[in-house]
Amino acid sequence: MKAPDFNYQRPASLSAALQLLHDNDQDAQLLAGGQSLMPMLHLRIAQPDMLIDLNRIDELATIDAGDAHIEIGSMVRYAQLEASEQIKTCLPLICSALPHIAHSAIRNRGTIGGSAALADPAAEMPALLIASNASINLVSTKASRVVSADDFFTGLYETALQPGEIIKSISIPKPGNNSVFGFYEITRRHGDYAMAGVAISAQQQSPLHKMRVVFFGVAEKPLRAHNCEQALENGTANDSGAIDLAIKSLEQLPLMGDQHTGVDSKRHLAGVALKRALQELH
Ligand SMILES: Cc1cc2nc3c(=O)[nH]c(=O)nc-3n(C[C@H](O)[C@H](O)[C@H](O)COP(=O)(O)OP(=O)(O)OC[C@H]3O[C@@H](n4cnc5c(N)ncnc54)[C@H](O)[C@@H]3O)c2cc1C
């Protein structure tokens, strides 16, 4: 199928994009990397009257490292993240997960902001942002606001974005020297969407302290597993008793089956991913 007719605007500044969105809010959709939106247009799942293309807005495509945070513009592409020395040095969790996001052709175009806005429950980036304690910086013609990644992903392809808002950037705190990370996903083939995966951060390894354990591909949205964190907190990553308790706690999570498999099998896969991510914690 071919996309329906639409008007196309390619503003050169964020303020111009915001004004276009404000003036056409009911009928307009933002175009970032197009890796999800273009197929949605061709399948006619999305039928906007206007596309507002963000690809010429340079101010959205920068990575800025401050003392305490890294601020990543919403139009920064996965490939740009992979090539960034700042990301390699400061954000090892994100760095280690990037090669698992789709394939290089898609990573050449797909953006961090597009992935956050889409909120695909099987996508890696939303879970990585929660595990990294990130904040999403939103702007509209009237105001700007900051929403924590914990609160941003509200449901199946649903976020806290309000009409007229654009994701401007994403701020990620620089982890401390003692921080450790783990990432593991189960896919049929490398680059496929995950059947189940987990992103873990902890401010300290021995004992584990201030953990964030976030599952993806197993529920309607990325799921922070507080009970699982509690089971592991103050133990070590190879404490089999604590790991068993953590896996048991997955029974309390509101998991969802999908085209791959049902809920019980998702729970099993989530437990396997958790165990392996803990084994590789570094
Ligand atoms: C074959 C294939 C395999 C893939 N596999 C994976 C995978 O394994 N893991 C994974 O995570 N993803 C995967 N993807 C999706 C890919 O990562 C997309 O890049 C991503 O989901 C959307 O990013 P985008 O920049 O392409 O956004 P677009 O497709 O351009 O936009 C997506 C949505 O976000 C909105 N949006 C975009 N930018 C903003 C913004 N700044 N503010 C507000 N709203 C905005 C758009 O209006 C649209 O609704 C795959 C895609 C394909 C085609």
pLDDT for 262-271, tens place per residue?
Answer: 999 999 999 9
Atom of ligand 1 nearest to the CA of 74: 41
The separation between CA 122 and the C-alpha centre of its own chain, rounded to angstroms, equals 9
For residue 190, what are its two tokens? 């490398």
Ligand 1 centre to CA of 270 (Å) is 24
Confidence of residue 260 (pLDDT cuts 50, 70, 90): confident
The pLDDT, as a whole number, for residue 26 is 80
Distance CA 21, CA 16 (A): 9
The pLDDT, as a whole number, for residue 206 is 85
pLDDT for 38-52, tens place per residue?
Answer: 999 999 999 999 999
End-to-end CA distance of the chain: 46
Residue type, 270: A
Ligand 1 centre to CA of 25 (Å) is 20
pLDDT, mean of residues 121-145? 98
Q: What is the residue with the minimal CA distance to atom 10 of ligand 1? A: 123
Please report the domains of the chain, with CATH numbers, ordered by start residue.
Answer: 7-53 (3.30.43.10), 62-173 (3.30.465.10), 180-279 (3.30.390.50)
| 113-116 contact pairs (CB < 8 A, 24+) | 113/32, 113/54, 113/60, 113/73, 113/74, 113/75, 113/76, 113/167, 113/169, 113/170, 114/32, 114/33, 114/35, 114/36, 114/37, 114/74, 116/74, 116/152, 116/159, 116/167, 116/170
Q: What is the residue with the minimal CA distance to atom 33 of ligand 1? A: 118
The pLDDT, as a whole number, for residue 270 is 98
